[in-house]
Structure 1
Amino acid sequence: MTNPTLHVVFVDDDLDDQYLLMQAVKAIDCQVQMTFFDSGPAMLERMDVLLASPLPLLVMLDLNLPPSGGMAVLEHLKGHAQYKHIPVIIYTTSSSVQEIDEAYEIGADRFLVKPDTFTEAIHLMQAVCQEWSVKT
């Protein structure tokens, strides 16, 4: 197995969504290191450790997070000089135009609606890897 080319930090309190994404990554030809958090505060507490990774970092962030929601986490990341360069993909069940607009205004790099099937999850993660992985 080759070394990972991307470190994806996935923040979602739904364990089924975490599992689906983990299985999708295993099914594709992309070397990704995955780190999972079930809340924004848990991820933010570990940001210094995550930034120490030699791999490019990408955050996939659900909007429906306890306790304060994904938008607050996005605002924190994009409002902090040390973190604002990290790409953030909003990954949520919402397709609200208002939430999409707000996420992009705050600084989200992409807004993706969660897939309904394993095949859709595979295609989504292939697209993510293709766009954000380091080409060797």
Structure 2
Amino acid sequence: MSLLGPIISIEDDEDDQYLIEQTINQLNIPNELRFFSNGETALHYLQTTTEQPFLILCDVNMPIMNGLELRHLINQSEYLREKSIPFIYLTTAANAQLVREAYDATVQGFYKKASDYAGMRHQIKLIIDYWQACLHPNREF
């Protein structure tokens, strides 16, 4: 994890992409924000980039490849596992079984999207603040 690396948002809903972008900008987070509309395009980026992303915010329900499938493929890749990119679900889909399945796949967080902008801002601020302060295997000490 690089504190200055890009924030990867895997989100197929354009309205949610807009809210996430506005929130990141309003919080004055300097990291570049990269959007992918499905897990397949995000996986291709993650497999081919030399960048060290700061974190991944991922929806669960998406076309082509959903967030759970993406997480499983990341876990199967030694290259991506070694990058140790924090993977956080930010999704409208939330139930006990889905949360269990996500944590079984070693996800680092699961948030049900807030229903308003203030709530979304609070969630993203919590996530960013935590990972900026957290020690990490790929972070320089």
Match in the other structure for 1:107: 106
1:128 Cα deviation after fit: 1.4
Q: Is the 8 A contact 2:87 2:109 kept in 1?
A: yes
Q: Is the 8 A contact 2:8 2:53 kept in 1?
A: no
- Deviant stretches of 4+, over 4 Å: none
Q: Structure 2 length normalisation: TM-score?
A: 0.84
> Between Structure 1 and Structure 2, how many residues are aligned?
130
What whole-Å deviation, never above 9, does each CA across 1:81-111 have from its counterpart, x for those lacking one? 1112211001111220000000000111000
Q: Is 1:122 paired with 2:89?
A: no
Q: Is 1:79 paired with 2:70?
A: no
Which of 52, 55, 58 lines up with 1:58 in the alignment?
Answer: 55
Q: Note the residue ranges of structure 1 that are not aligned, 5 or more in a row.
A: none
Match in the other structure for 2:32: 33
Q: Is 1:94 paired with 2:90?
A: no
User: Matches of 2:48 and 2:8 in 1, distance apart?
Assistant: 12
Identity of aligned residues (%): 24
Match in the other structure for 2:137: none
1:115 Cα deviation after fit: 1.4
Q: Structure 1 length normalisation: TM-score?
A: 0.86
Q: Is the 8 A contact 2:58 2:91 kept in 1?
A: yes
Aligned-pair Cα RMSD in Å = 1.8
Output the amino acid matched with 2:75.
Answer: K
Q: Note the residue ranges of structure 2 that are not aligned, 5 or more in a row.
A: 135-141
User: Matches of 1:110 and 1:57 in 2, distance apart?
Assistant: 14
Q: Is the 8 A contact 2:68 2:102 kept in 1?
A: yes
Structure (1 or 2) with the greater strand fraction:
1
